[in-house]
């Protein structure tokens, strides 16, 4: 049992762990789960080597309120600073591990976190993932008239008792299919490969189990040639001669590159337009679940100082609300 599990090992996630430890929480009661092989993936990938990582960014004043603080630094200096924070505070980080489901228990302050490697229980959760790019789209042209039927997530439109095609072969495709089955939909999954190689073991077993029970129809080695408007419904045609054209109520694409919005909605976080609803202390509508870093700054994100300060705000709130948890 953990006191807090933090999802994401960027500046906000690392700072969230440090703030807990500085506040007196044992380092053994704090865990960061990071899907990448290293911390601060966005800085490593998207920042040029000579670009300064600036403290003051997009109007957020560079005044530090918490344990971590930086001036303007180079990319490598910033990574080194965060390396040192992890080492100095003995922060535990599980790399190459992906969270795919979070469940809040009805009784008590308790969450269960499911990943591709294990299942954990924790009293509190902080989500510190960054703001990513737009969803990937297929190579073929999508009819504009079907924009409400061709989707890239499963939370913006309520889908029930419908015939749905999910396109993709990764974890998201499996998770979408599982969710849609739970909503009493007739689900078909189209994947161009002959077997699922990109899914974690849990999602692979789950989707194959659903297929074995007749809940999902999996079309392996299937390649969509086009989607056309057929009386207001998507008609899907394949390159494979042995696959007939198929008509669906919805086509849902799970081709990678998704934003965190869908993940947040799937675990029950409420939104107001494009922004998650956040109350005092960056707490969501789910008691004990917090958004820090970019997710707490709005859709345009914030600075590293903002990320650091947001975690200090969370700790102050926890000390007031959950002191006896």
Burial (Cβ within 10 Å: 0-12, 13-18, ≥19) of residue 82: buried
Q: What is the pLDDT of residue 303?
A: 78
The yes or no reply on domain 2-133+260-321 and CATH 3.40.190.10 is no
C-alpha 316 chain-centroid distance: 25
The yes or no reply on domain 144-253 and CATH 3.50.50.60 is yes
Low-confidence ranges of the chain (pLDDT < 70): 45-62, 131-135, 257-259, 298-302, 323-325
Q: What is the pLDDT of residue 159?
A: 93
Q: What share of the chain is helix, strand, coil (3-state, %, to 5)?
A: 30, 25, 45
Q: What is the pLDDT of residue 301?
A: 56
The answer to whether 121 and 208 are in contact (CB under 8 A) is: no
Sorted by sequence, the CB contacts under 8 Å of residue 231 that are 6+ apart come out as none
pLDDT tens, 119-136? 999 999 999 987 654 567
Sorted by sequence, the CB contacts under 8 Å of residue 198 that are 6+ apart come out as 169, 170, 171
Q: What is the pLDDT of residue 55?
A: 61
Q: What is the pLDDT of residue 255?
A: 85
Rounded Cα gap, residues 208 and 216, in angstroms: 8
Sorted by sequence, the CB contacts under 8 Å of residue 294 that are 6+ apart come out as 12, 129, 130, 131, 301, 302, 307
The answer to whether 293 and 10 are in contact (CB under 8 A) is: yes
Rounded Cα gap, residues 96 and 115, in angstroms: 10
What's the token pair of residue 90? Answer: 């003995």
Q: What is the pLDDT of residue 164?
A: 98
Domain boundaries, the chain: 2-133+260-321, 144-253
């Amino acid at each position: 049992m953990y006191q807090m599990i933090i999802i994401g090992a960027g500046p906000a996630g690392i700072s969230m762990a440090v703030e807990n430890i500085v506040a007196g929480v044992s380092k053994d009661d704090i865990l960061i789960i990071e899907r990448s092989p290293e911390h601060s993936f966005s800085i490593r990938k998207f920042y040029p080597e000579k670009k300064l990582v600036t403290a003051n960014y997009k109007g957020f004043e560079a005044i530090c309120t918490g344990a971590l603080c930086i001036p303007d630094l180079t990319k490598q200096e910033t990574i080194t600073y965060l390396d040192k924070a992890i080492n100095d505070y003995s922060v535990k980080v599980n790399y190459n591990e992906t969270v795919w489901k979070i469940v809040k228990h009805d009784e008590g302050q308790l969450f269960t976190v499911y990943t591709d490697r294990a299942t954990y229980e924790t009293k509190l959760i902080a989500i510190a993932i960054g703001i990513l790019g737009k969803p990937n789209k297929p190579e073929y042209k999508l009819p504009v008239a079907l924009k409400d039927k061709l989707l890239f997530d499963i939370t913006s439109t309520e889908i029930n008792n419908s015939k749905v095609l999910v396109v993709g072969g990764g974890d998201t495709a499996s998770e979408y299919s599982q969710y849609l089955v739970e909503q009493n939909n007739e689900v078909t999954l189209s994947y161009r490969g002959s077997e699922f190689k990109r899914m974690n073991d849990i999602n692979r077993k789950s989707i194959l189990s659903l297929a074995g029970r007749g809940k999902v129809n999996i079309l392996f080695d299937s390649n969509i040639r086009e989607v056309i408007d057929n009386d207001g419904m998507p008609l899907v045609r394949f390159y494979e001669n042995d696959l007939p054209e198929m008509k669906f109520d919805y086509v849902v694409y799970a081709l990678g590159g998704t934003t965190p919005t869908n993940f947040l909605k799937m675990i029950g976080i409420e939104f107001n337009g494009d922004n998650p609803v956040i109350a005092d202390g960056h707490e969501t509508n789910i008691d004990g679940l917090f958004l820090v870093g970019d997710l707490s700054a709005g859709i345009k994100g914030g600075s590293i100082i903002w990320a650091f300060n947001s975690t200090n705000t969370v700790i102050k709130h926890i000390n007031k609300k959950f002191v006896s948890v």
